[in-house]
Chain A
Amino acid sequence: SQTIHQWPATLVQPVGSPLSLECTVEGTSNPNLYWYRQAAGRGLQLLFYSVGIGQISSEVPQNLSASRPQDRQFILSSKKLLLSDSGFYLCAWRPGTGVKGLAGTYEQYFGPGTRLTVT
Chain B
Amino acid sequence: QKEVEQDPGPLSVPEGAIVSLNCTYSNSAFQYFMWYRQYSRKGPELLMYTYSSGNKEDGRFTAQVDKSSKYISLFIRDSQPSDSATYLCASLRNTDKLIFGTGTRLQVFP
* Residues of chain A at the chain B interface (Cβ within 8 Å): 6, 32, 34, 41-44, 46, 49, 51, 57, 59, 88, 90, 103-104, 106-113, 115
Contact = CB atoms under 8 A, between A and B. Distances in A.
A90 B96 contact: no
Contacts, number: 52
Interface string B24-51: 0000000010101000011111100101
Interface-centre pick from B45, B96, B103 (highest chain A CB count, 10 A): B96
User: Chain A's interface: helix, strand, loop or mixed, by majority?
Assistant: strand
A72 to B, nearest CB: 17
A104 B49 contact: yes
Contact of B8 (A41, A44, A107): A41
Contacts of B51: 104
